[in-house]
Structure 1
């Protein structure tokens, strides 16, 4: 919500007026000097939108503001050209609308386009977040990061490495949305005050690593690659089992962590809907983007959301640090998921992350069943993984 600075206003005053943490307002206005506001400047207030309201008989600013649990000055601020003592029935005024519930329905077939809509919406309501492009897919779709918080601890969470595991993206976006709402409304999640997490943690979210693959599963092949993709899929138009990127390379078998071992034992020796690790490590733009992203940011821990199994893996060749065990125990406690240290699988992003940085890395297998998991599991999976999401911030 955008407002215009008046004489005597301050960001601290706006924080009190709208009951929003001051640091969120400061971070929503990075080009504004908090100690030198100028009359007429435009300021963004996070967690609010503007509602257009038609004045009815008996309305006053004081009555309307009381119904929203705000001071009348909040309405005066949004309607600086209106005389509050002479409201005209039928005229239209601006009312601040606090966002208290998720604004979008994510229980849906969640395509790349769905993600773009959500990112635009979140940035508008929560301008203190940053949306960055870290790379591009084979077809040129941006691979995007949501960055939340300013703390020294760096936590990275990603989803949809595998195309038919696309449900991980809307679940991760729902976690993000509710975290942002908890911040702006200063309300706890499962009894935890989350504002200290914002101050102590820089949270990085890459919600869709494989946008081309996700769209292939949900929308079918793009015209420019239809023939090639159908050939890889043995002529079938059923892409529900497709895990790979659009070129038929499994992005979670692309990393130089015993890649040669994985390559030799995989049955697939050429592009396929799943399990083909490529002709060499890091040949695919999506895998390269995630590797370069990790190197540039030096994250303290990383979580990769996959499906299915209701378990998680956290070890690689004994290279994981001792703190991984502590975090894994907490993840198991808060989710009910089974903690598995070692699994006979290599060349994954988690494997490479542990090998490269000697930091805690986790592959979280959400839900249970046959991929792609049905949307009927959405709420159950969300509740299970919410504890892991929170623990990744406070551990």
Structure 2
């Protein structure tokens, strides 16, 4: 929601009027020094939308503010007036309405277009987040990263490395949405003070690493690529179990952590629906974008959300630091997921991060069953993932 500054207004004033933390207001208006904003200029108020309302003959300021659970002064400030009673019956005013319901939902799968719409809505309502493009997919779709928080600790989370694991995008976006709601509604998340987490942690989220693959699974191939994709899919036009990117490369077997071993022992030797690691590490633009993101940011630890198994992997070849085991014990206790130190797997994002940076990395296998997991599991998955999400931010 945007509001025009009046003479004497300040971020502190608006923080009190709308019960929004001062830091969120400042971060929602990063290009503006509050003491340099002139009357009449607009600033953004996070966590609110402006809703039109037509005045009736018996409307009074205090009755409207009480009904809408907003202070009279906030109502006057948004409408740039000192007295609503001076307005005529039928005049349109605007009500500052606090957003208390999530923008995300678990009722339908998220393809790339749906994800983009949700991100745009989040940017509008929560302008203290930042959204950037870290690279593009094979088909040119922007791979988006969302940033939130001011802390020295840097944490990264991602989802949908694998196309038929699209439910992980929905889970991660729902976790982010709840975090945003808690920040702007003065509530906690799994018992954690989210405003303290915001001050302590800078969170990086890439919610869909493999947008072409997710769209292939959910919507089928682009018409001009249908025959090509069917050839990679053993002649089938059913792509529900496809894991790879649009070129038939498994993005989670693309990283330089014993990649040669992964390639030599691969059950498949050419592009296909799953498991082929490509002709070289980081050959695919999606994997290269993730590698570049990590090198640029020196994350303290990373979490990659996958499905399925209700377990998580936290070690790689002995390169993991002692801190990893402590975190694994905490994640296991809070989520009920089984902590597994080593698996016979190489060239994954988590493997490479641990080997390259000697910092904690985790592959979280959400839910249980056959991929793609059904949406009927969504709420149960979300509840247990929330424990890991908040534990990771508070560690």
TM-score (norm 1): 0.98
| In structure 2, distance between residues paired with 1:104 and 1:324 | 31
C-alpha offsets along residues 197-242 of structure 1, whole Å, 9 cap, x if unaligned?
1001000000000000000000000123222111101121110110
CA deviation string 1:175-207 (max 9, x = no partner): 000100100111111222110110010000000
Question: 1:68 offset after TM fit, Å?
Answer: 2.8
Task: State the partner residue of 2:36.
Answer: 36
Which residue is 2:188 aligned to? Answer: 188
The residue aligned with 1:325 is 325
| SS of aligned partner of 2:241 | coil
Which residue matches 1:137?
Answer: 137
Q: Secondary structure at the match of 1:53?
A: strand
The 5 A counterparts of 1:28-67 are 28-67=28-67
Deviation of 1:102 (Å): 0.5
Q: Map 1:336-347; keep pairs closer than 5 Å.
A: 336-347=336-347
Task: Give the whole-Å Cα distance in 2 for the aligned partners of 1:234 and 1:385.
Answer: 35
Contact 1:25 1:128 survives alignment (8 Å): yes
1:180 alignment partner, SS class? helix
SS in 1 for 2:171: helix
Partner residue in 1 for 2:178: 178
> Structure 1 residue 82: deviation in Å?
7.7
Range that drifts further, 311-320 or 96-105 = 96-105
How far apart are 1:263 and its partner, in Å? 1.1
Instruction: Write the distance in 2 (CA, Å) between the matches of 1:337 and 1:163.
Output: 23
Find the residue that maps to 1:225 and give its secondary structure: helix
Structure 1, unpaired ranges of 5+: none
CA RMSD in angstroms, aligned pairs only:
1.1
- Preserved CA contact (<8 Å) 2:138 2:284: yes
- Secondary structure, counterpart of 2:36 in structure 1: coil
The question of 1:294 aligning with 2:300 is answered: no
Q: TM-score, normalised by structure 2?
A: 0.98
- 2:98 corresponds to: 98
Unaligned runs of 5+ in 2: none
- Report which stretch shifted further, 54-63 or 265-274: 54-63
Shift of 1:265: 1.4
1:1-395 mapped onto 2 (5 Å cutoff): 1-80=1-80, 83-395=83-395
Local SS of the residue matching 2:32: coil
Consecutive aligned runs of 4 or more in structure 1 exceeding 3 Å deviation: none
Kindly tell me the number of residue pairs found equivalent between the two proteins. Answer: 395
Q: Distance in 2 between matches of 1:184 and 1:21?
A: 8
Contact 2:103 2:118 in 1 (8 A): no
